[in-house]
Amino acid sequence: MTTVTDAVPPYRSRSRFRHFTIQSAPLLLSLIILAGMAALYVGLFYRELSRFPGNFEVTSVVNTSMPLVFAAMGQSIVVLIRGLDLSVGGMIDLTNSLAATHMHGGAGSMLAWSLIVLLVGAAGGAINGVLVAYGRLQPILVTLATLSIYQGLAIKTLPEPGGSVPIEYTKILANPNAPTGLGFVALLVVIWLLFRRTRFGIDVYAIGNDEQAARAHGVRVRATKIGAYALSGTFAAAGGLFLAATTTAGDATSGDVFVLTSIAAVVLGGISFFGGRGSAIGTVAGAFILTLMINVLFFANIDPLYQSFFQGLFLVVAILLGTLIRRLVGMRG
């Protein structure tokens, strides 16, 4: 005698599916919000100008987004280890000023100063990491202090807005006639996918999930933290280079805005501030969402005095929505 029973998926299969959906839900949400924001931008643009955005508009959005993309990319790695890097704005100030005052025409100068600027970013980030890892100081206090230091160095380097970046450099990084920044976005996505599969990337997630357990399993916690902050500084420096290329000049205060927006992009990208969860691909989407939001508010004829209010309101709603979806997925998984 045989009995017929409903096929029940193995517990392990359900656990894996639940884990996958919980992990992927924030990223999917950020991509959906990006698609919605892009559609809203196109619709409002067409309403105002009776045409769809062309190559110039796409290039402008991409180039405007790239400094934030780089800054937020580095911020993501730090947040994954339950840290925070408020110094990204000061590092963008400093590296932007260095590029505008020292880079000259010629491949040799452009290459040399690009490398120098990236090394400055890595060194500044490593200092943050050492103070956090070995000094056992709170990341928010350390990076708030170094933010001021890097801002001071930037003003010393470039007291007033000015300087210049070779036009050839602008064409390479931020060609005004073509969205070359999309190539950098694709490169960052590839780098991130490779990063996830490296020992260092695995250690970053391990520390974010449980630092004590990671240490017990042989993870070099201090070295990994220093590396995470060094990468954050390097990405911020890359953002400074891209900002200089976009504006073709320097400004020792132009990076200040990226302190909060880089954190906002991380939040919109679905990376957990409890560490160990999320993807920087979502952060890239978050950076583009914030840039498109400014364009949407402009074409919606929102008074500039109220734009910050609507940006903050949107961010709160996005956070609440992401939290709700994550909880629903967890309950149904």
**pLDDT 10s digits, 93-149:** 999 999 999 998 888 999 999 999 999 999 999 999 999 999 989 999 999 999 999
Q: Tokens representing 24?
A: 């992927």
For residue 250, report the phi and psi dihedrals to the nearest 5 degrees: -125, 155
Query: What pLDDT digit, counting tens, does each position of 172-213 carry?
Result: 888 877 777 788 889 999 999 999 999 999 999 999 998 999
Q: Tokens representing 285?
A: 């989407």
Secondary element (H or E) of residue 236: helix 221-247
Distance CA 293, CA 299 (A): 10
Over range 292-320, report the average pLDDT: 84
**Domain ranges (residues) in the chain:** 26-43+56-332
Distance CA 246, CA 62 (A): 11
Using CA atoms in the order 180, 184, 190, 192, what is the torsion angle rounded to 10 degrees?
-160
